[in-house]
Amino acid sequence: MKAEAGPLLRTARLDLWKPQAGDLDGLMALIAAEETRRYLGQRPVDTMNEGNRLLRNAGSWALYGYGSFVVRLSGRPEVIGACGVFHSWRGFGKGMDDTPEAGWIIHADHCGKGLAGEAMRAALAWFDATHGRRRIACMIEEGNTASERVAASLGFARYGRHAPETEGEAALMLFERTG
């Protein structure tokens, strides 16, 4: 598979790339910090799981024409985030299956600088221009007030809650941006 020639989107501070096979190490480094994973549930950190996530994201791009972007600071090679709109099948209904879902992860070293909002504004504008404005869902682990603020700034409103299915898991707050 040939690598992309450059980012699909650029913002004032960021380059947003479609996922590539060579991104796995950068995505592993992205979530290596415990602080970055704090609100990602009981997500195992290993090459197989992250490789499968990368393949699912590439599959969203291939099947639906949209997915999460790999985020880098402008002109830099290091992966600092993964943000965008991907096609979701969460398996618990509540408006979270067979739907576009927004999500953002920014490395803990880069949090608090507005980068998630900057990347997501670019991703949402691209999605709307390419696929038409329509409902997009997102879920945020209960207690993640920083992501709740990002969601609100992007026009998402809370519509529900998903209780944990396994002991030790946190509840998920469900949000949507309507068309």
pTM: 0.92
pLDDT band with cut points at 50, 70 and 90 for residue 50: confident
**Model confidence over 76-132: pLDDT tens digits?**
999 999 999 999 989 888 999 999 999 999 998 999 999 999 999 999 999 999 999
Nearest to 120 by CA among 71, 55, 54: 71
| pLDDT of 1 | 43
Q: Half-sphere exposure (CA, 13 Å, Cβ side) for 160?
A: 12
CATH number, domain 9-133, options 3.40.50.300, 3.40.50.720, 3.30.230.10, 3.40.630.30: 3.40.630.30
DSSP for 90-117 reads -SS-TT-EEEEEEEEEE-GGGTTSSHHH
DSSP 167: T
Calpha distance 49→101 (Å, rounded): 20
